[in-house]
Structure 1
Amino acid sequence: MTLIAVATIDAKADHIAAVRAALEAVVPPSRAESTCLRYELHLDNKIPTRFIMLEEWANEAALRAHETTPHFKALVAAVGDKVVNIDVAELSKLA
C-alpha cells in the first residue's frame, strides 16, 4: 500500500523566497527517486507564508529512504532557521 505524506511548511515572513527556492530545488531529485509516485509543491492561496508538499511513496520504507538522501538533507539545512513550523502528516488511503 502506498503512503501519502502532506508536509506543511510555514516560512518566516522575511524568508519566503529562500524557503520557496529550497523547496523548489528538492522537487526534481525527489521525483527522480524510483519509489516516488508523486511530489508536488503548492502555495497556500490564503496564507502566503505556507507551503504544502503533497507526496506519495511506494511504502513507508520509501519515505524513510527519501529522508536520508542528500537532497532532502540539504533542504532541511537550508530551511532550518527560516521556518516557523513544519508538520508532516502520514496518511493511509481508506477509499
Structure 2
Amino acid sequence: MSLIVVATIDAQPQHIDAVRAALEAVVPPSNAEADCISYALHLDNKIPTRFIMLEEWTDKAALVAHEATPHFKALVAAVGDKVVKIDVAELSKIA
C-alpha cells in the first residue's frame, strides 16, 4: 500500500517568493525518484503564505530515501529560517 504525505509549509510573509522557488525546485527531481508516485506543489487559495505539498510514495522506505536525497536536503536548508511552521502528515488510505 502506498504512503500519502501532506506537507504544509507556512512561509514568513517576507520570504514567500524564496520559499516558493525552493519548493518548486524540488518537484522535478522528486518526481524523478524511482519510488515516487506523485509529488505536487499547491498554494492555499485563502492563505497566500501557505504551500501544500501532496506526495505519494510506494512505501515508507521510499519516503525515507527521499529525505536523504541532495535535493531534499537542499530544500530543507533553503527554507529553514524562512518558514513559520512545517507540518507533515503521513496518511494511509482506508477506503
Pairwise TM-score range, normalised by the shorter structure: over 0.9
- CA deviation vs aligned residue, 1:33-75 (integer Å, no higher than 9, x gap): 0000000000000000000000000000000000000000000
TM-score (norm 2): 1.00
SS of aligned partner of 2:81? helix
Q: What TM-score do the two structures reach when normalised by structure 1?
A: 1.00
* Structure 2 unpaired stretches of 5+: none
**Identical-residue share of aligned pairs (%):** 80
1:5 partner letter: V
d(CA) in 2 for partners of 1:85, 1:35: 27
Q: Which runs of 4+ in 1 moved over 3 A?
A: none
> How many residues matched?
95
Gapped runs of 5+ residues in structure 1?
Answer: none
Query: SS of the counterpart of 1:87?
Result: strand
RMSD of aligned residue pairs (Cα, Å)? 0.2
Aligned partner letter, 1:81: D
Aligned to 1:16: 16
